[in-house]
Amino acid sequence: MRAAAAIETFLEMMSAERGAARNTLESYRRDLEDAAAFSAAAGEQLTDAANATVRAYLDDISARGFAATSQARRLSALRQFFRFLYTENLRGDDPTSTLDAPKKERALPKIMSEADVEKLLGRAELETNDPQASGASPMQALRLHALLEILYATGLRVSELVGLPVAVARQDSRFLMVRGKGSKDRMVPLSTKARDAMNRYLAARDAQPNLADNSWLFPAGSETGFLARQVFARELKGLAARAGLKTSAISPHVLRHAFASHLLQNGADLRAVQQLLGHSDIATTQIYTHVMEERLHRLVTEHHPLAD
């Protein structure tokens, strides 16, 4: 089987049998097609690539300056691809079985202070009452405020947030039922402020006749039919600038980090935070405890009178 056909078959399996998200499938496609191009340049189909070819590919992406995290992700994609070929009897061995993942340091997530979050949300709310302050339409101002309040109240992944069906918002407004990674559903509670912001936005949305039959909470003229993540991120940075905050330190994902960190700082249980974030492994959630430990250590070393 040629590489292109094998990649398509693998992606179909990942979608149908494992419920892989669209973004995950696109990432696998990019990684495998890049590996296939390297293998072809070496005179092999990716489906027939030897261990030495795969190792040379990993050396090549390292030389191209890819971070250890990106290298590890590409190796993971190749492992799953070759494991699939082996399982389907399309080749008799797995050339990645003896390869080690590149060592990587786990970076601590960036977070925002509670004061900065309040400043950001306060600015978003102000602009719903005075859209001219942002240059946006009243509808856009209400949408951005709703997005931010929901994000900080729930810690949703940005893809989960922008892709919310409108039917979810019309159910019990105290909770949202969210479909996350691996098509797993979880229930997340909404704060009073988030419910109010969402309902104000919904009222404006319902006043638009052209959106009556639209199934998305945040519809847009994109390929998916809902607001693109990149558009939301751009609007967020614009809002941060108007709020007098450093734009390079703010993104939708940073607000997700802030949600988790602020919950733990205020006494939330780690398991509860894991469930709210939709993490399958609690080790992923524990990174936020490291953020708190780092902040406490810095606090002592900078302010204790006997600190060296």
Residues catalogued as catalytic:
157, 181, 253, 256, 279, 288
Which 3 state secondary structure label does DSSP give 175? strand
d(CA 10, CA 18): 11
Cα–Cα distances in angstroms (integers) from residue 185 to residues 5, 17, 169, 172, 176, in the given order: 32, 17, 15, 16, 10
Contacts of the segment 260-263: beta carbons below 8 A, 24+ positions apart = 260/155, 260/285, 260/288, 261/109, 261/111, 261/288, 261/291, 261/292, 262/114, 262/117, 263/155
Q: If we measure between CA atoms, which residue out of 90, 100, 281 comes closest to residue 184?
A: 281
Q: HSE on the CB side for 90, CA within 13 Å? A: 20
Dig out the tokens for 227 from the structure.
Answer: 């607001």
d(CA 163, CA 179): 9
